[in-house]
Amino acid sequence: MNPTARSNYALEIIEWRHLDKYSLSTYIFTSSCAIRFLIYPFNFVKSRLQLQKQNTVYKGVRHALVHIIRNEGLRGLYKGFLMTVPQNVAPLIYCNAYEKTRELLKLHLGLSSDKLVSSLADKFISFISQRGTVSLLTQIIFVPTDITSQYMIIYNNPSVFIGEAHHAAVLNYIHRNKAKLSSRPAFQILRALYHVDGYRGFFRGYIASTALGMSAGSIFWTIYYTCLENIRWCRRKFLHSLLGYEKEGHPYFLLDQGAAAATSSIVATTLTNPLEILRLRAQVQRASYADTIKTMWIDERYRIITKGLLPRIINSCIYATATMMVYETLKKICVLPEYQGQVMW
């Protein structure tokens, strides 16, 4: 196709071959880091609320935020953040898998309908997410970084979050050997984890973490597509005249995706909250799964359903919504130079 013909051709669907892969990967990683940076304080507060016994330290989200800022400053809300940066590789895996799947479906199977190709690619990614294929891979990155980050979150006041004294072997090692260790808490924790448990210490709670990822992914994608269809039906039925758009692919579809992502994220987060507490306590308090479940029930009873739920909902809802809405915009920014004049904004 010559340049003149290309300029008159609207690029409604941006495909893998249209993209500058390096730029897209860079933008996805950077935007994911930025989103996680903004919402990390909610993850910090969530972890402390879920690790404490009942309400022994904080009475709620507001009390936790005020107390932490007053005693540790705003920087205190970002303890352990740098250890979670490698987790931003996960969106790259999802996005590359999605775009490559679209390319395979269209070019190698001869499918010509863009709507059908996108739908099948979406379904395939949701299928492998539900079956845990992606979760098994990403947890290899998530578990070690999560464990280190969580120890940094409780580093200054471990006794109220660890529970039984004999579960504090990692932090006890740090206190006994502080003179020999690095001055940086992250390196102290890494050294202590390896000394106490070997390589296994970096993957404590892997089963619970993988189960959480599989469960949350399955619930999210199931709710997402159902919700997306209903939102689009309602918009076409009741808001068409107000919005003034009728064609497929108009800008409000982005809002549809954002609303569906927010709704499905809230549902998935709420239903998996007890499993999140189990994962967190198993990794930090170092008891067996059976003992952890027993302690959770004795200490919290039915509060395990709502303990730390609000900051976790805010954290996951913002991340899921922003990721869904930002991705399509990034694709438009990262098209190859010869296609830039054809992008529909």
Which residue has 């940066």 as its token pair?
85
Encode pLDDT of 109-160 as tens digits.
666 655 566 566 666 666 665 555 666 778 888 999 999 999 999 888 877 8
Return the pLDDT at 4.
45
Return the pLDDT at 309.
94
Return the pLDDT at 111.
61
Q: Are 122 and 145 in contact (CB under 8 A)?
A: no
Quote the mean pLDDT of the chain. 83
The whole-angstrom separation of Cα 305 and Cα 331 is 38
Is the pLDDT at 2 greater than 90? The verdict is: no
- Mean pLDDT over 36-64 rounds to 92
Instruction: Looking at the structure, give the CATH architecture of the domain made up of residues 21-340.
Output: Alpha/alpha barrel (1.50)
The token pair at 159 is: 């006794």
Is the pLDDT at 248 greater than 70? The verdict is: no
Return the pLDDT at 68.
93
Of the candidates 265, 328, 318, the one whose C-alpha atom is nearest the C-alpha of residue 15 is 328
Encode pLDDT of 226-245 as tens digits.
898 888 888 777 766 665 55
Is the pLDDT at 165 greater than 90? The verdict is: no
Of the candidates 23, 35, 14, the one whose C-alpha atom is nearest the C-alpha of residue 322 is 35
CB atoms near residue 59 (< 10 Å): 11
Return the pLDDT at 47.
94
Return the pLDDT at 311.
95
Q: How confident is the model at residue 5 (pLDDT cuts 50, 70, 90)?
A: very low
Return the pLDDT at 236.
76
The whole-angstrom separation of Cα 43 and Cα 35 is 12
Higher pLDDT pick, 260 / 121: 260
C-alpha dist (Å) from residue 298 to 53, 126, 185, 295 = 10, 37, 32, 5
Encode pLDDT of 193-202 as tens digits.
999 889 998 9
Higher pLDDT pick, 316 / 164: 316
The whole-angstrom separation of Cα 273 and Cα 257 is 24
Is the pLDDT at 1 greater than 50? The verdict is: no
DSSP structure string for 6-38: HHTS-B-S--GGGB-HHHHHHHHHHHHHHHHHH
Return the pLDDT at 252.
72
Encode pLDDT of 79-114 as tens digits.
999 999 999 988 888 787 777 777 777 666 666 655
